[in-house]
Structure 1
Amino acid sequence: MRKVKARVIEQPTLPPAQGEEEHISLALANSAIALPGGLTVDLLGTPAQANHWLTERGLAPVDAGMREMCATQLRSLREQIRSLFASRAAGLPALPAAVTAINDAMTRVPTAPLLQWDDKTGPYRSTPHPTTAIVDHALAALAADAADLLTSPDAERLTACGSTPCTRYLLRHGRRHWCSTRCGDRARAARAYARRSASQ
């Protein structure tokens, strides 16, 4: 029997958009990548991919054992954060459901060490972090970072990439409105093509 070689579609290796290294919520918003030809690559598409994404950012251990429900929660928070970034970048009112989702994620986990009581050693304080709460802690950290970004001076520089079909966000520096050199080159080529077409 002849072995058939599986075709592997490689994920695009884009550099982080400007601001992603300072704001993990920006990296989360950009974890679904729109490509030319109507293709989209979702870096959180499977539980294993979601676990890998969180591990790379120090938000989950390698062996967290992510389930589909957890990956779905992460993708859902991403969409709410994207909605808030879009509203902020366009100067439009935010959807109340998006604000509620961010607040819910931030308040789902304790922010202070709670009082615990051991029958032998007595009272002590600790922040519970059982394996089942890993995703809640990650969601809280991502939501808090989004709230920090949206209420900081950096929010004035928040913008969507100006190259179609890209849907990533970045913190603008100067006049640059592209998330990567690839997008900048594509936007310049599209403008040059439009000028040539208009002059014919």
Structure 2
Amino acid sequence: MTTMSETPTAEPLPPPAPGAEEYPALDFVNSAIALPAGHFIDLLGTPGAANRWLTDHGLAPADAGVQEMCAAQLRSLREHIRVLFAARVAGTHVLPSALSAVNDALSKAPTTALLHWDEKTGPYRATPCPTDEILDRALATLAADAADLLTGPDADRLTACGSTPCNRYLLRHGRRQWCSTRCGDRARAARAYARRARPKAD
């Protein structure tokens, strides 16, 4: 049976995957974590958890008051970006709906800084960000970061973790195919077990 929770019960959260510090979108898609024994952790699973994730990544203030509708939008964008990452890694065609969803998120935030005038200091430019636009700005930022990764020089390094049941993505360094030491140890142990279990030839 699959267990969903904000925080893990069986084992601690894995560390950020290689590349997550450079690309917040990588950490974003990895916020849904598959663990052994059918456990599953969703760091965006509740409004409070989603607010904490956004705050931790500098995308929303702690008192943003994220509601379930906003958390659902974040989870939806995450799945669309995961589809794009999977297509890039596998070299397959991408679903048009995933591409449309990311492009829609990209268009949500204004990119032009407006002109303002302070009575004491004079004119200045600033991009508006009222409270009701916090989510749109976060969605646009994450979508833009994913687009930068998919079209930039690091795109060829994007890969899926090679340790079952892990579903995280990472930027490959050398021959490393795992998102964490724990996943690497698990994959090596599985290979060793498979070799021992293989029937010997007569």
Normalising by structure 1, we get a TM-score of: 0.89
- Displacement of 1:36 after TM fit? 0.7
Q: Answer yes or no: is 1:128 the counterpart of 2:142.
A: no
Q: Determine the C-alpha separation between the residues in 1 that align with 2:101 and 2:12.
A: 29
Q: Could you tell me which runs of 5 or more consecutive residues in structure 1 were left unpaired when the two chains were aligned.
A: 1-7
Q: Which residue of the partner structure matches residue 77 of structure 2?
A: 77
Rounded Cα–Cα distance in structure 2 between residues aligned with 1:184 and 1:113: 46
* CA distance, structure 2, for counterparts of residue 117 and residue 93 of structure 1: 49
145-154 or 8-17, larger mean C-alpha shift: 8-17
The offset of 1:177, in angstroms, is 0.4
Aligned-CA RMSD value: 2.0
Partner of 1:3: none
* Identity in percent: 68
For residues 18-52 of structure 1, the C-alpha deviation after alignment (integer angstroms, 9 at most, x for no partner) is 00000000000000100111111000000000000
CA offsets 1:145-187 (integer angstroms, 9 cap, x no match): 0000000110101000000000000001111100000100000
Alignment of 1:23-102 (within 5 A): 23-102=23-102
Q: Aligned equivalents of 1:180 and 1:9: distance in 2? A: 19
**Within 2, Cα distance between the matches of 1:44 and 1:168?**
15
Number of the residue aligned with 2:172:
172
1:98, 1:114 → 2: CA distance?
A: 31
Deviation at 1:91, TM superposition (A): 0.5
1:114 deviates by: 3.5
Secondary structure of the structure 2 residue equivalent to 1:40:
strand
Distance 1:145 1:124, change over 3 A: same
Q: Which runs of 5+ in 2 are unaligned?
A: 1-7
Equivalent in the alignment of 1:195: 195
Q: Which moved more, 1:65-74 or 1:93-102?
A: 93-102
Provide the C-alpha distance between the structure 1 equivalents of 2:10 and 2:193, rounded to a whole number of angstroms: 29
Distance 1:16 1:183 in 2: 12
Q: Which amino acid aligns with 1:18?
A: P
Question: In structure 1, what is the equivalent of residue 5 of structure 2?
Answer: none
Q: Contact 1:11–1:41 (CA<8 Å) still a contact in 2?
A: no
Runs of 4+ residues deviating >3 angstroms: 8-11, 114-118, 123-126
Matching residue's letter, 1:15: P
Residue 125 of structure 1: CA displacement?
4.9
Residue matched to 1:4: none
1:170 aligns to what SS in structure 2? strand
CA distance in 2, matches of 1:150, 1:16: 19
CA distance in 2, matches of 1:44, 1:51: 8
Q: Once structures 1 and 2 are overlaid, which stretch shifts more, 11-20 or 62-71?
A: 11-20
